[in-house]
Amino acid sequence: MTTYQELRRQVENLTPEEQLRLLEELASLVRHHISPKPKRSILELEGLGKEVWREMDAQEYVDQERASWNG
């Protein structure tokens, strides 16, 4: 019989409370061994698409947008 099957049979003999405790401890153990995904920062987007605005005057653009609001 494989180790997994032996363990499973032993777990089945535990009380529901013991099974739940074991499950929680195993989940914690696995979470600890999984490397966390790197968090991303909004600052990584800095400068993205800047070439689109290279020839555009910022104030002129804002004025055009505001003018379009009034129809």
| Per-residue pLDDT tens over the stretch 18-60 | 999 999 999 999 988 887 777 889 999 999 998 988 889 999 9
pLDDT score for 71: 62
Which element (helix H / strand E) includes 18? helix 16-33
Is the per-residue pLDDT at 14 higher than 70? Answer: yes
Can you give the pLDDT at residue 2? 83
Rounded to whole angstroms, the Cα distance separating 42 from 40 reads 7
Residues 18-30: b if buried by 16+ CB within 10 A, e if exposed? eeeeeeeeeeeee
| Amino acid 8: pLDDT | 93
Q: How far apart are CA 19 and CA 30, in angstroms?
A: 16
pLDDT at res. 26: 94
